[in-house]
Amino acid sequence: MLSRGVCGTSRQLAPALGYLGSRQKHSLPDLPYDYGALEPHINAQIMQLHHSKHHAAYVNNLNVTEEKYQEALAKGELLEAIKRDFGSFDKFKEKLTAASVGVQGSGWGWLGFNKERGHLQIAACPNQDPLQGTTGLIPLLGIDVWEHAYYLQYKNVRPDYLKAIWNVINWENVTERYMACKK
C-alpha cells in the first residue's frame, strides 16, 4: 500500500497504481423457490411476471443508473483536462488504447500527469518499469497489459481486452488522483 499520496499528500490512495475498479453489473437473482411454490395464494403466472419482468427491469435500471453515475464522475475538471490535452474523450481513449496495444510483451499503458507542464500525458512502460521513475509523470490511470491480466478470457487478443477495460475504470479514483496532483 502506498504510504504517501502520489503527489506528496498524506492521503491514502488505492492500494495499487492503476486501480481499475471492480464494479460488476448486477444480475437478476434466481428465486430460491419455484414460481408455483406460493399457490394457491399467489399463482405461478404472477410470480413469473413479477420476477422475470418487473424485478428484472429494476435490476437493468440499476445497471444503467450506475453506468451513468460512472460517466458523470469523469466529467468536470478531469474531463475538461482530457479535452484540452487530447481534443476529446474519444481521442484520449483511442490514444491510450493504441499505446497499450503497442506495448511489446508485458507492461502498462498509462495516463499520467506532467506536473511541470500541468498537462495530462499518455505513456507506456514495458515490464514492471514504474511510470514516475521512468517518465516523471504522476500515475493517474494504469492499464495492465501483462497477459495474466486478460489471457484466460481474451486469449492473445489484447485489443478486445482493451476495448472491454473501459467499462470498469474507476473514474472516481482517477479524478481523485488528478485533483490531488493539481495542488
In the numeric block, the cell 428465486 is attached to: 31
30 known ligand binder: no
d(CA 159, CA 97): 8
Alpha-helical segments (H) within the chain: 44-49, 56-73, 77-86, 89-101, 131-135, 151-154, 158-165, 171-182
- For residue 34, which phi and psi values (nearest 5 degrees)? -70, 150
85 known ligand binder: no
| Closest to 119 in 3D by CA, of 137, 95, 93, 135 | 137
d(CA 81, CA 114): 12
50 known ligand binder: yes
For residue 139 the three cell numbers come to 500515475
Binding-site residue set: 50, 144, 148
Query: Which residues belong to the annotated binding site for Mn(2+)?
Result: 50, 144, 148
